[in-house]
Amino acid sequence: MLFSLNIELNQKGMFKHKTSIEIRFVDLDAFGHVNNANYLSYFENARVKYFDEIVGWKYDWSKQGIILARAEINFVSPVHFRDNVFIQVRCSRIGTKSFDLEYKMIKIENGKEQLMADGISIMVTYDYEKNKSIEVPKEWKEAILKFEGVETL
């Protein structure tokens, strides 16, 4: 069966999806940089946009959707108010009932890109009515594979 095994994607390290992030004053802590708790929200915003643009939100999320099972963040350099920041997202693995999304937070300064943070999340497809994990929908897999440049396995 085509999708029964984990599929490692995008091994060249390419991130094709990009979401701009507005740093709000409320995001700052007493030291004047973005508080670490906000990074997950930034990654979530990028993840939602990735899904909206790549897979499409054509599902009743109160019945079936995805849940965040695990998240890791590596903080590289502090982000400050008015920094020009964006998040890159890619799917690096698709399994039977879960998939991995990788993130890079990039700041543009003087025309150069600087890595501010990176991370990964493990997302599980979930049936909220039955309270159990389900297989990743075939349409999602096909759309992600196509976008990430993996058309044949």
Domain ranges of the chain: 7-148
Q: Return the structure tokens found at 43.
A: 């990654």
Distance (Å, whole) CA 118 – CA 75 = 7
| pLDDT score recorded for residue 79 | 98
| pLDDT score recorded for residue 124 | 97
Question: For domain 7-148, is the CATH number 1.20.1090.10?
Answer: no
Most distant CA atoms of the chain, gap in Å: 53
Beta bridge partners of residue 94, listed in sequence order: 7, 99
| pLDDT score recorded for residue 153 | 30
Residue 3 has pLDDT above 80, yes or no: no
| pLDDT score recorded for residue 2 | 35
Helix axes 138-148, 37-54, angle to 10 degrees: 100
| pLDDT score recorded for residue 62 | 78
Q: How confident is the model at residue 110 (pLDDT cuts 50, 70, 90)?
A: very high
Residue 100 has pLDDT above 50, yes or no: yes
